[in-house]
Every structure is written in C-alpha cells, then in structure tokens.
Structure 1
C-alpha cells in the first residue's frame, strides 16, 4: 500500500572548525567501543545563569522559535511546539510539525573520559550564551585570506564569566538586502544613494564582529568584511556583516576555503558554549566548545520557501583534543498529533523524515491534527564536519562526462578508504581535491519518547546520549536490520546496520556494509513486503 503524503521539509547545515577530532567509526558498531568512556569527572564551571533570550524566525512560509540555550522550536514556557509550515494566515488553526530540535556533541579525551553537551527539551542546561576565553595568538586563523585544512582558531582556558553570558544572551538579526543597501550607500559616488533604514543601521552597528580581547575572547566572532583590514569591525570604515554572494564579490572558493560567511536572505546569528555552568541535562563533563550558530531562510516562489536552514561553526576553545567525536542533530518531530508518527530515512540523500502512522492525523490532548492525507517533514544533514586530514581525495561517485554515467566505488572500497557511495552522504569526495571532504548523515537512530520499550527510550545520562550519537541503542546495544531494530525483537536479523528504516533507498546496501538483507525495511513494513506495521508513537531521532 502506498501512502499519499504532502512533503514539507527543513534543512540542517553543519560546519565544524577547531581542534576536536571528528573521526567517525563507520561500520564498526558492535555495541562496545575501544577505549570505553570512563565515568565523567566533576569539573569546576562558571556560574552563568540559564539562557533566556528567544526570537521567532518568521520570514518565509515557516514560523519557528529560536533560543540561545542550544534548543530550537520549543516554547518551553507553555510546553508548545512552534515550528509551523505553512505558517498561520489570519484566523487559520495552527498545526505544528516539529516539537524540539538541538545539536548534540561528544567525544573522549586522551584519558578516556567522556565529554558531552546535549539537550532535549532544556529540562536542564548544557549550553549558555557567549564566547569562551582563549590565549591570544594561539591559533593561526586569518579571515582576510583563504583558510585551509591546517587552520586553528585561538584556544586556551575556555572559560567564561557570568556577566559575559548575560551580555551575549541575544540573537543578532541581519538581512542580505539591508547589507547590500548599506554597501551601495557607503560606496556611493553620486551622492543620490538612499541611506538604509534606521532598523538596518541599528542591526549593522550592533553586529558582534569582535570579541572583547581584554576579557580573553577571540578577536573574530560574527563574520564581517573588514574593509580596511585592521581586524576591527567598524561600520563607519565600510565594514559590514559578511555575505559572500552579493554584488559579484565571491571571495570564498567552495570546497577549498574554510572561512564561514553568512547565508540566507535573512540571518539570525548567536554564540553559545558548554562551559557556562555544570551540565544538568546530559550530566556530562564539558568539552570547552564554542558554537557560532546561524538560523537562516530564503524568500522564494518554490519549495525553498517552506524550508529553514541552520549552520553551526563548532570551535574547540579548550586545551584538550577529543577523539571518537560525534556531532548529531536531534529532532522530536511531532506532526500534529504527536503520538501516531513513523520515522525513516533516505540513505542516498542523507535525509531523515517523519510521517504519520496512518492516513488520518487526529487531534490529541486538545491540539489539532492535520486530518486526512497528512504531510511528512524531512531533515537534511547537508554539510557535516570535515573529515580527518589524510592527504587523500577519498572516493565517491564521479560523473563521467564521456559515458554520461556515474562511476560509483564498491561499498567495501569506500569503507576501507573512508569514502562514500551516494552523493547525498557528503561533499568533496572524488573531486580530486584532498582533505576537503565533509561528512553527511553517517547513522540514523530512532527511539520512542512515551511508553518506550526498555533500552529504546529517552537518554538520561551522558553515556546514553553518546550511544545514540554513535548509532547504538540507549544502553549500547547494537542496532540490527529489520523489525524494530532492537536485538531479539520479532524478525530482527543478525545484520548490523547504521541506518534505521531506509525503506528502498539503499540499493547498494551501504547501511549494512554491503550485505544484502533480502528485504526493504520501513516502519510500515518492518519485516518486508506485506508484513504487519509497527505500532506508531512519539518518535524522536538522532542523525
């Protein structure tokens, strides 16, 4: 049986910069790990108050709430979802699609101690606003010239004072059109160019281009074009928030230059960290990570008008190098009625999605459903962290312009040489340029929020968060192909997999290291064609 689904989507983009080692052990998941993380130690932290600032992004046909404490989309004060697409018009009833989302990260240090930062609904706190302290000149980052794979941002003690957490409890908004008008006005030679509006001038003047080096912060925070190359953000000297794709000024070469500029027609920028206080959500030891976040959107007349985008620049400001490091996007996508959903993924595209468990999305707990033929919503892990430097152009699909066909590496060869077999699983593979490869979605795990079976529920400890990030179950059990994916459940095979419910998307069997399981696997048909569907529920996923 085919299900008719309207398709809505939003795209998640990630960028990794810093010294944490983002190495992902694909196809080696056994439920155990070499160098098993030791219990986390108690770490002295700053005494920052929890983040409070919230802002609604309401630019195209999507409306959603952002906040500075590492959580997206959830109106915590009222316990309500805010991600709405299409957004409310007039007196229409609002039906939301995503309840909550967040960035998770974790790895182990040289002593085997697990360091982690993650939130689900901010029942506790792992993130606080503001930049961390560094030793000036400890890195080699220079935003005035292209930056390669040897780039290091300044690092040091990686601490922050409470007043700085409070100062940066803010989200800074700018528009591309406003920046273009500012540049045109500043460079005007005819004297008849209109000055930007007071709102645009206030946004440009308030842009946090520099940290306070007197407080040990990095010289460079929010991206800006330094017109006179003096390293200081001064709009009166012609400096401006840096969109690279405006007025023909394309300075950043994609795939080579690692400088991060601004994206979107509207951009929301903020900075947060995991050292502002004790981690009360994951119960984990802090990393010393500083995150520069962008939430952005485009106004178009096509499907992009129903999408929002997120870019994270992750900078390890501490003195410790992390190994077996993972960065994941967590999503609790409630399509109207939160308790009747299914989830799955398209391996070829690196795309996860949520859809309704039947053809009618009923109201639940006083909240409206979508009714007949409910939509689906997708999350695209578009540009992940850079792969470890190895001096190689790691293999990937390459289009032959002579034969007009794709040359695709064998699964075994791609695994052995840290490559990919689908274009949607990364960027920079097989393009002849060494060390510009960026991960896409390398695992996809689903669990149930309410009434979940043992070992398949919400994470409650640092190790459990880390297990889900590594593509394992809550207590470290291996994920297997078929059924619910949990060991011992009906029709679960003995074939390990990195992706749950790929349906018919994985024709090369990348998820199972080249092993053909013999049937397509989805929540609708978990044991193959004609099998009984899984019970629907409150699904959450980690990718």
Structure 2
C-alpha cells in the first residue's frame, strides 16, 4: 500500500481536487492489480503507466485504466454524472472517503485525507487471528501448544477501517467479524476483518465535489472490495473479482440511471487490439488482431500466441419493483438478467444492457467523451453526437434505416437478437485492422433503473485472463469464454446472492470456529472427536453430498481436500502435525465451517 501525502490549506472544494491517491495491489495469485483510493484501477496517477500485470512477473499489463461510471436525471430533468476515466488528479469526479448520512451527502477535507488509503488483508492473517482468540476462549485449547511462538496481531488487522469517521456518518464502514458482538471493532478482543477471497482490498470513495469539467455529482458513496483466490483452480488464479456497493446519500431521486464499468483495455500493445462482447455471458473483452503482440509506444507486448482479457458481470443492480415476478423473454433486460421467472417478485437484476466502445483517435463523434452528455450517451449506447450505435461496420451510421444495436461486436453471441430488438442478425466482429483509429476503450452498462434517496446498489464483477496454447489470438477468445464459465460456476458457490441489498458484508470467510455465532447463511460443521488423533468424523447432509471438504492449518494453508458423500465421512488426519485446523464445505447456497484440534 502507498499513500502520497499532499499538503493544502485551501477549503475543501478547492483542495480535494488535488488530493493524491493511496493504493494497494492484489497479488495473491497470477495477477498483480493496483486499486486506488478513489476507485481508479491500474493506471498510476503520477507516472501514467499501467499496473494490471498478468501473468504476474511478466511485466505485461492487460488494462490501462478502469473504473465506474454512473449517470441519472433528477425530477426536474437535470443530468447527474460521476465517473473514472483517464483523468488527471484535478479533474477526477471521485474522491476518497465516505459521505454523511443526513441527506446532505457532504464530507470534510480531513475525512477525505484520512481515507486516502486502500486497506489490504489476507485470509491467512484473519484465520490465524481468529484461531488465536478462539483458542484463548476454549478450555480444551492450550495456547502454548497451538501457538508455541506466541502471536502478534498484524498491522493489516489493527488498521482495518471497520468504524466510520464519527458523528454524522454511518457507525460501521468496512465489514468485520464481531467476536464479542458488542458492535465495536476491537482487534485485541478477537474482532477481525470480514472478506471474501484469499486476499481482499477495501476502499471507500464519493463524488461530493463538482469538477472543473462541470459534472454535477449525484451524492453517492461507494464501497469497493476487490478480492482474489490462489487456491481455487487455474481459472481463479487468473481472475480478480470486484464487489461494489453504492449508496445514494442525497435527497434526490434519480431516474434513467445507468451504472457502467469503463475499461481502457491495453492488451500489451494498445495499437493492435480488437474489442468484442458476449451478451449472453455479460462479457466485454479485448484480443489482438495479430498472432504476435509486439511491443509499441514503449510498452511490452505479449509476444506469440497472445491472450484475451475481459470483464464480466456476476451480479447486477436490482431493477425497479413491479410487484410481480417478471417473466423471461428474448428482450433486454430480461434475456441476460437474473431473477426472471423464478416465482419471486421484485428480485430481478439487470444484466449488461449496453456495450459501447470508442477510440483514442478518429472521427470526433466516436472518440473520448468530454461533457456529461457524452458520458451519458455512451452509457445509453449512443455516440457523442446522440446517434445510436448501429449494427455492422464500426457501429456509426447516418443511415436512418440502419439497425440500432445494444452491443458492439457481439460476434454470434446474441443468438436471439436481444440487442437488436428481437431481430436476429448475422455475426458482427471487427475484421480489419484500423490503425487510423487505434486504442479502443469500452463501457458496459446496466439499467435503466431508479435510485431513491438512501437506496443501495450491490454488484459484483470479474476480470479474467486466458491464453490458448495454440491457434492464434482468436483461440484465446474461446479460451477466455470457457474460463468465464468456470469462474461464474465458482462464484455462484460464494454467498454473493444471500445478503439484503442494503448490506455490504455479504458473508465473511470461514471463521474457523465451532460455537461462535456465524453470519446468516453460514452453518457449523460438527466434527468429532475433539481432540482427534488419527481421524475425524463428519455427518454430511444430503445437501452436502458431492461438495468438497477443505482442511486448512492455522496459517490458512490447504492441507487436505476430499469430496463428501451423504452420511458419515471419515477423514484421516494421522499425517497432520498437532495443532488447530479449520474445515470448510461450500454448497450452492451455504458455507459450512468448523474446526478441530489434532493431538
């Protein structure tokens, strides 16, 4: 983690525009990805270079800049916008820190400075911390045996920003496990961060300040938790997931709201990249138009057999309530959304409803946005001049009979014509190198929906990288789609669907305890005997049959895995060293956890 300190004596409205940005990096698996305190992904705010290195150690990045866009209109028709793009510090719409919860949606310079930071913690640190304090409270656990070298709380746990700044703000900020259930974050009493993944970051940012570009803010607060796994298979080793939680802290109701993810994909060299979309998978991706990605503009390329890289939506925002269960159909947002036709009213969530691209250089109507209207247009699948994206060619046409399109370059992955009003079209991909208009950028958006005062939006996304062994650049696209399917299958075993919309924490990682209160959706494994010497027994329910049991030592290292059968399962542990071990079983809807002591 790094924080650049900037001294300033100006009032908040002037000074916040030059706040420097703290950052931290996810580096637990084969990706090293940088996240900044104001929500920017990858791009160094001072040097301008990219920091989304995959594979880690290769020196090659796949993403120059990423971040959120959100726009909506007030009751009197005024446009509101907040976004991250390739701005310098003085023109960014988003700043570090939370907002007040009184409807004024304000903050102070000191609060922004205090939160100009991205916090990082690992699962192994949390498990060790929890195991130590559980041992202290367990009469059957000897601390001198379980922790012969003693225990020191790591700084990452001591510094976790669980509590809000003070009066006027929410009491709690970052999610945490409350060991003694007193509502306060006290690491020396056993409390610990609550995360998903083997490593997670946390930041909070807002759009309180009007920008020099004239964008009027919405008054939103955003909590972000990027996380990653290093022990869940090859697909997850090349994946970074991001949890965004947006709160409307203003007193305004916004309609026609679109939430978007902007990505300036630079797959090694930026001048030979094509953009594509897979609407059925809610995926936007980048790939090379050549089979050898040479370096350019002082940036390393991927060389022979270049990869593909993309972002896909795992969990979109809730759509407006209708009081009924909306039925599935082949139109947007029903086609690629979730919750349609499941007999549950008002749980429908948007899939990606627009996938737009634009370029660094080219005709002015299709280049980088400048005004709030430009950004709003791109979120709604329109060019800067208000013309809609059209099907075929480069997507820009003045022909009044051209077919309007929701998705740029979907190939054959819109088989029902959802993006063209239900009329199936031939496949559409970029087919010819266009060096006159290089360096594509993309924004995929969800909506429309209404955002009420105090309303929350809860969303999950994933960045995924794949490289085929042979077959050229196009083969890597197919490898990417297969990997997206694998990542989605894994992510659907996580408790991302179990929380209420106004809850950020979802469910914490395995707390490695028996008898400690678990969050909703987390159940206790009953393991016997305790202590155990040669084997432990587990009574698996029918719901657990076929799931994997994972055993970890006190550092979080996986020491054994096996697939469960319904009924009594016996697990040999004679080869394990004495100590405290955690056990986890994850099914589609529930995480089971427990612990045992090996003599």
- TM-score bracket, normalised by the shorter chain, equals 0.7 to 0.9
Distance 1:493-1:362 versus aligned 2 partners, 3 A rule: farther
Partner of 2:23 in structure 1?
A: 54
Distance, in Å, in 1 between the alignment partners of 2:20 and 2:269 is: 29
Name the counterpart of 1:203.
Answer: 156
Aligned to 1:100: 65
Cα deviation for residue 85 of structure 1 reads 0.8
Contact kept, 8 Å, 1:427 with 1:437, in 2: the verdict is: yes
- Matched residue, 1:259: none
In the alignment, which of 349, 353, 359 is matched to residue 438 of structure 1?
A: 349
Q: What is the CA deviation profile of residues 178-226 of structure 1, one whole-angstrom value per residue up to 9, with x for unaligned ones?
A: 2222222212211323399877532222211121332x11112111233
* SS at structure 2 position matched to 1:81: coil
Aligned with residue 283 of structure 1, among 214, 237, 253: 214
Distance 1:208 1:504, change over 3 A: same
Cα distance, 1:516 vs structure 2: 2.3
Q: Provide the rounded CA distance (Å) in 1 between the counterparts of 2:239 and 2:203.
A: 20
Q: Scaled by the length of structure 2, what TM-score is found?
A: 0.67
- C-alpha distance in structure 2 between counterparts of 1:78 and 1:164, whole Å: 26
Q: Which residue of 1 aligns with 2:563?
A: none
1:128-158, Cα deviation, whole Å (9 max, x unpaired): 11111123xxxxxxxxxxxxxxxxxxxx211
Alignment match, 2:583: none
Q: CA RMSD in A?
A: 2.2
Instruction: Quote the Cα distance in structure 2 between the aligned partners of 1:384 and 1:221.
Output: 22
Q: Secondary structure at the match of 1:446?
A: strand
**2:437 matched to 1:541?**
no
Give the match for residue 494 of structure 1: 402
User: Which one of 280, 299, 303 corresponds to residue 367 of structure 1?
Assistant: 299
- 8 Å contact 1:360–1:372 — kept in the other structure? yes
1:455-494 aligned at under 5 Å gives the runs 455-488=365-398, 494=402
> Partner residue of 1:8?
none
For 1:197 and 1:174, the matched residues in 2 are separated by: 20
Match of 1:379 in 2: 311
Instruction: Tell me the distance in 2 between the aligned counterparts of 1:345 and 1:134.
Output: 38
Q: How does 1:332-343 map to 2 (within 5 A)?
A: 332-343=264-275
Q: Secondary structure at the match of 1:52?
A: coil
Change (3 A) 1:357 1:70: same
Give 1:45 deviation, angstroms: 4.5
Who wins on radius of gyration, i.e. which is larger? 2
2:19 and 2:113 in contact (8 A); partners too? no
The answer to whether the 8 Å contact 1:448/1:457 transfers is yes
Per-residue Cα deviation, 1:486-530 (whole angstroms, up to 9, x for no partner): 1138xx96211100110011111111111123x211102xxxxxx
Q: Provide the C-alpha distance between the structure 1 equivalents of 2:104 and 2:148, rounded to a whole number of angstroms.
A: 43
**Distance in 2 between the 1:468 and 1:309 partners?**
24
Residue 117 (structure 2) pairs with residue 170 (structure 1): yes
Native 8 Å contact 1:46 1:161 kept in 2: no
- State the alpha-carbon separation in 2 of the partners of residues 329 and 199 from structure 1: 40
Give how far 1:172 is off.
1.2
SS state at 2:297 partner: coil
Structure 2 residue 253 is the aligned partner of structure 1 residue 321: yes
Match for residue 391 of structure 1 among 320, 323, 345 = 323
Q: For 1:466 and 1:263, locate their aligned partners in 2 and report how far apart those are by CA, in whole Å.
A: 33
1:358–1:319: structure 2 CA closer, same or farther, 3 Å change rule?
same
Q: Indicate how the Cα distance of structure 1 residues 504 and 47 shifts in structure 2: closer, same or farther if over 3 A, else same.
A: same
Kept after mapping to 2: 8 A contact 1:274/1:287: yes
**Number of aligned pairs?**
422
Q: Which residue of 2 aligns with 1:529?
A: none
Q: Is the 8 A contact 1:344 1:503 kept in 2?
A: yes
- What secondary structure sits across from 1:476 in the alignment? coil
* Alpha-carbon distance in 2 for matches of 1:198, 1:102: 38
Tell me by how many angstroms 1:47 deviates: 4.2
Structure 1 residues 294 and 497, CA, compared in 2 at 3 Å: closer, same or farther?
same
CA deviation after TM superposition for structure 1 residue 357, in Å = 1.8
Matched, 1:132 2:43: no
Distance 1:223 1:368, change over 3 A: same
Task: Please state which structure has a larger fraction of its residues in helix.
Answer: 2
Q: 1:304 to 1:195 in 2, by over 3 A?
A: farther
Instruction: State the Cα deviation string for residues 399-458 of structure 1 (Å, max 9, x = none).
Output: xxxxxxxxxx3x2xx55xx522xxxx3332332222222222111001111x22120000
5+ residue gaps, structure 1: 1-43, 136-155, 243-261, 397-408, 525-531
Residue 319 of structure 1 deviates from its aligned partner by: 1.1
Structure that is richer in strand per residue: 2
**By how many angstroms is 1:46 displaced?**
7.2
Q: TM-score, normalised by structure 1?
A: 0.74
Equivalent of 1:116 in 72, 81, 88 = 81
Structure 2: which 5+ residue stretches go unaligned? Answer: 1-11, 445-599
Which of 175, 187, 191 lines up with 1:223 in the alignment?
Answer: 175
